[in-house]
């Protein structure tokens, strides 16, 4: 599956994406937003393998897509339902620190949220973040999520246009 924006392509992960994910998930700026211990290269390989598996599950409940720019993976953005019949899903986005503050996370997220509501028919999304991750909180708020508790943000389905 693919979603296209002005500058990005969001698509299912492939095994050959692993080196790009290793490259950004091992950067100190990225790791500053995650608790210890840092992931190992094997952890990241297993992560990409899991995302590849999710893309083949039937029925599909998890849409964790690679964010690509000019053919290179620069992050991931996704919505994950707990069950096939769930009407609410978890949203998450991460980006290579070298690509921060260029609007890519917002652009990718907008495309994914449109897909989640219009195609999947979800009634709401929630995001979980560490309270000290101010960039993630600003992104969630810019996307319309509202804080409901420390680290938890929710976005109901927008009204019909």
Which domains are assigned to the chain? Answer: 2-123 (3.40.630.30)
- Taking only the tens place, the pLDDT of each residue in 16-59 is 999 999 999 999 999 988 877 889 999 999 999 999 999 999 99
Using DSSP's 3-state secondary structure scheme, residue 70 falls into coil
User: 108 and 5 in contact (C-beta within 8 Å)?
Assistant: yes
The secondary structure of 76-138 as a DSSP string is EEEEEESSTT-SEEEEEEEE-GGGTTSSHHHHHHHHHHHIIIIIS--SEEEEE--TT-HHHHH
- Taking only the tens place, the pLDDT of each residue in 79-122 is 999 999 999 999 999 999 999 999 999 999 999 999 999 999 99
Q: How many CB atoms lie within 10 A of CB 36?
A: 5
């Amino acid at each position: 599956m693919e979603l296209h924006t002005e500058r990005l392509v969001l698509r299912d992960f492939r095994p050959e994406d692993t080196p790009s994910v290793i490259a950004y998930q091992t950067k100190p700026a990225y790791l500053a937003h995650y608790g210890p211990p840092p992931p190992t290269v094997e952890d990241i390989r297993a992560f990409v393998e899991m995302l590849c598996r999710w893309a083949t599950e039937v029925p599909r409940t998890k849409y964790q897509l690679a964010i690509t720019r000019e053919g290179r993976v620069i992050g991931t953005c996704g919505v994950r339902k707990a069950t096939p019949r769930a009407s609410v899903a978890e949203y998450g986005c991460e980006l290579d620190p070298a690509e921060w503050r260029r609007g890519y996370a917002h652009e990718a997220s907008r495309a994914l949220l449109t897909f989640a509501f219009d195609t999947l028919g979800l009634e709401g999304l929630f995001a979980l973040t560490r309270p000290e991750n101010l960039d993630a909180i600003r992104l969630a708020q810019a996307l319309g999520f509202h804080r409901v508790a420390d680290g938890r943000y929710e976005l109901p389905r927008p009204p019909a246009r």
